Amino acid sequence: MAAQHRLPADGLTVGPDGSDDRWNLVVAAGLLSFVAMLDMNVVNLALTDISAGLHVSAEVAQWAALGYQLPLVALLLPAGRWLDQVGTRSALLLAVGCFATCSVLASLAPWASWLIAARLVQGAFGAVLFVLMPVLAATAVRPELRGRAMSVPATLGPLGAVTGPVVGGLLLDHVGWRAVFLVKLPVCLAAVLIVRRHAPRTGTLRLPDRGSLGDAALIGSAVAAVLLSLTLTPRAPLWLLLALPAVPLVLVWLRRPGGRPVAETLRAAGTTGVNASVLALAAGFAACHYLLAQHLRGQEGESATRTALTMLAFPLGMVVAGRFGGRLADRWGARPTALTGAAVTTIGLLLLVPLDGGWSSGDIAWRLALAGAGMGLNGGPTQALVMTASPPGRLATAGSAVQLSRSLGFALGPALATAATLTGDRATTGSRAGIALAVLSAATAVALLALHHRAHRRHRATA
């Protein structure tokens, strides 16, 4: 009898000849990753227009973005626990359908409360999508091809985050703010058609247990406390104390039935350091991206189009390198490939520290492309490393931990960058300080991956 690899998340069985590798499902995971990350940033540029269109203050309009991000981060880990108990296909179709429906409702919002409510619900289903994307890609192909498969959503996700402001700017200039909520619908439809046709019909849906609501409340409160403290600290350093309650909230959650499986999964897989490296690298990337956009639009007075074209160097480098990152991981190993990618990103960010007003767009673009290439090399192998080490039946839990780390990094990066810029006495000096902090964060990711790589080599030598 021919050997087979059975992957526990959805019951998909793949033969050794690769005849049952479902690369179309990998493509669907990549499309959903792009959409989910795009939605985190595409609304940011529209906040001023939303404020004017719905006749509300800027603070109220900001909840069009925060209303999506907070439930997304809060529900990632509870969603992972729930998804380990249900069918991948059914959960994915439900999440995509509700995600798209909320986009339509947001575009039709006659008043701010309608819009915020639609975004809150959309963020909840966005959390399900974030957890399902790596599971879908990981279970669609043989384990030895998992690095290549994981590179697709790991590359397209950050690409959506970076291109979000560009897409939002074009839509605002030519269509209006309501269109930013509808741009995702064709991609959602394509993903649904692929999943309906090719995903195996296994498992059923079930309601989350009551404990998941308590878990979401604890995690959401902790994340909200940290984000609010970092956002308000530039006004007064004492606001940093607002983050202190996050520690006991997380400790309480870890002692609950919802938190224990996550801690056990990370401990059994030995990937706590890898998840921390994902957070650190994402924070460094997000901080640098935010500061450079502010530098080009503010100090340099560049147009929105020229700034967008300059910033596109990062995702272009990431996409090009991402095509090779998975292949290198499958051939040479996920650990050394992920470590190399983090190191390349750190070097690219380091070259941006001497940022000067005399630099041209090209001077910034080639450095961004180098940093993006490193992210492309790192993303897929890191995801494959975590998913491969996951205990049986815990793929969704392991995937949710990675997505939480990445989402927290994207959310924390701009807040950390804003705080760092206050150390400079001039705009350019402040930007340099912020980019230096981004380099330190990326270098931390390199150190964490290096320690994990060394520990794994010692374990293999002992075995």
> Which two three-digit tokens encode residue 192?
């649904």
pLDDT of residue 106: 93
CB 121 within 8 A of CB 98: yes
Q: What's the whole-number average pLDDT of the chain?
A: 78
Beta bridge partners of 439: none
Predicted confidence band at 307 (pLDDT cuts at 50, 70, 90)?
A: confident
Q: Is 21 exposed, middle or buried (0-12, 13-18, 19+ CB in 10 A)?
A: middle
- Which token pair is 114? 């309608």
CB 25 within 8 A of CB 140: yes
pLDDT band at 300 (very low <50, low <70, confident <90, very high): low
- Where does the pLDDT of residue 13 fall: very low under 50, low under 70, confident under 90, or very high at 90 and above? very low
Catalogue the long-range contacts made by 304-309 (C-beta closer than 8 Å, 24 or more residues apart).
Answer: 304/169, 304/173, 305/169, 306/361, 308/165, 308/166, 308/169, 309/361
Residue 229: CB partners within 8 Å, gap ≥ 6? 239, 240, 241, 242, 243
- Radius of gyration of the CA atoms of the chain, in A: 21
Q: Which two tokens stand for residue 121?
A: 């619900």
**pLDDT higher than threshold 60 for residue 229:** yes
Higher pLDDT, 42 or 273: 273
Contacts of 332 (CB under 8 A, 6+ apart): none
pTM of the model: 0.66
Confidence (pLDDT) at 8? 40
Q: What is the pLDDT of residues 420-431, one digit of tens each?
A: 766 555 556 677
Q: What is the dihedral of CA 286, 287, 293, 296, to 10 degrees?
A: -150
| Sign of the torsion angle spanned by Cα atoms 194, 199, 203, 208 | negative
Contact 158, 318 (CB under 8 A): yes
What long-range pairs does 109-115 form, CB within 8 A, spacing at least 24? Answer: 109/54, 111/54, 112/54, 112/56, 112/60, 112/61, 112/63, 115/50, 115/54, 115/64, 115/67
Report the phi/psi class of residue 301: left, alpha or beta, with left for phi > 0 and alpha for psi in -120 to 50. Answer: left
The top-scoring range by mean pLDDT among 16-20, 149-153, 335-339, 454-458 is: 335-339
Q: Kindly report, residue by residue over 39-95, the tens digit of the pLDDT.
A: 766 776 677 788 888 988 766 777 787 788 778 877 877 777 777 777 778 888 888
The CA distance from 458 to 463, in Å, is 9
Cα–Cα distance for residue pair 145/163, rounded to 1 Å? 28
Q: What is the DSSP string of 20-70?
A: T--HHHHHHHHHHHHHHHHHHHTTGGGHHHHHHHHT--HHHHTHHHHHHHH
Q: Residue 354: how many CB atoms within 10 A of its CB?
A: 9
Determine contact, residues 443/346, Cβ cutoff 8 Å.
yes
| Average pLDDT of the segment spanning 447-463 | 69
The conformation of residue 3, written as its DSSP 8-state character, comes to -
* Length of the chain counted residue by residue: 463
Joined together, the tokens standing for residue 217 give 């409340």
Amino acid present at 314:
F
How far is the C-alpha of 39 from the C-alpha of 354, rounded, in Å?
32
